[in-house]
Structure 1
Amino acid sequence: MLTEVSATRYVTPLREGGSLPGLVEADDLGLYVMKFTGAGQGRKTLVAEVVCGQLARRLGFRAPGLVGIGLDPVIGLGEPDQEVQALLKSSGGLNLGMEYLSGAIGFDPLAYAVPADEAGRVVWFDALINNVDRSWRNPNMIVHGGELWLIDHGATMIWHHNWRGAEASAAKPYDATDHALAPFGPDVKAAAADLAPLVTEDLLMACAADVPDAWLVDEPGFDGPDDVRRAYATTLLGRVTGLEQRITLGPRTEPSEPAGWRETR
């Protein structure tokens, strides 16, 4: 399960995200980007963040560490912004925190080059989790310490909004023509050879085990939280076989060049 801390101070809203995440300070003196159970997308966004964020880390991607953050709604009483105040008041209890990476900047393909092997790994991973939100319009990647990090996995596993269609989703293709890393010629075949053997039922169940029970209870059609966790693992495992053959990539538009910051011209 996730390490749990308690929010002690709400610092500022981060309005780049549609769910209005906020920067908070916790009782371990850490700073976290906090996503709230009371946001419009609901608790399933937080479930997706945990399952896919933990899976990314276990597969060797750079992704912020996650914690559960307990929130006392009284913190919202002094907030002058009524939207923020309402969000804090409606999110009492356990929420999700992501390690705040100071100094990180948003990924820009015009400024930062990604090698084909790394691009392929990210595209393959996004195909596995059915990530519909890693386009050039909203890359949901950052550069920290000169390296590429993956963030914001709330818009993944969209089949968990309709569990009856989850099994059928395993065979569905993944359109990566609009992916933020498509211009770098992603080597998804090499990525599949490297990553697919690592995605086992045990690994997926370990990721799902980190989701708090409170976010899984009362899921229609399931006997309890462990039953829901098993459904996540089963559905993701069903997508692995032959996944690289179901990924559609557009034409490469950028020349190959060393990874990292591009020289200004």
Structure 2
Amino acid sequence: MEASANIHTPLSDSENNIAPHVILDLRAQAKSLEFSSDGHLFAASCNCEAALWDAKTFSLICNLDVPSNEGPLYTSFTPDGRAIWLASEEGIIARHGILSYAHNIPPIRTSYTISCIKSSPDGMYLAVAIKSSATLLDSTTSDAHDVKSSVKLYDCMGQELATLVAGGSDDYICSLSFTADGERLTGISEDGAMFVWDTDSRTLVAGPFPQPAPAFQVAYSLGNDLVASAGPTGQIKVWKKHIGQEKVTPHIT
């Protein structure tokens, strides 16, 4: 079974002024959602598959292959929209070209258990959150303690650059986001703690802050005219705003 798009309601204005939408089906709960920077493509992944759709018609372009599909899969577009990063929970990272002139790299086989990935807007970094412990040594007391999660920072060619430690959380990082200039990286752990790192110095500059644990995956398109949301099933709903409407409120069915 492959991912599919079910056009429950066309992406056009409706007579009843109800937010129009399409339904995209995955075989399990979505683990990542993302529109490409030019707004032309939409990608989503779950425990057992990753897929690419045309963001205008929402016709399925292809199912994305990774060297291993054990456990959840995660996706993140490169800023130019010519390639997409894919990672499997068991630690394999790959980059697939979308256009024929996209440059690809051999799959990276790490020893990490991956919980999410995110490409920076400037294309310099790929942030990879991992579910593994790291031991920190307090420089004042010399006491050692374990942290549950950290983030590995890679360059655009897949070379590992640094480890960003998320101390103060009892769970792994489940969501990552860069600022528009790529100078800050924010991570949110499964238990709701937020961390902010400086990507230049590779140091934690703020956090942990308590935040509500994210219940759903949400992604906005270029210009914020489309919003995609996913709940606990394999169903993804993509909404289109009405002209002049400030926002739409997705309802997961």
Shorter-chain TM range is: under 0.3
Q: Which has the higher contact order (CA 8 A, sep 6+)?
A: 1
Which structure has more helix as a fraction of its residues?
Answer: 1
TM-score, normalized by length of structure 2? Answer: 0.27
TM-score w.r.t. the length of structure 1 is: 0.26
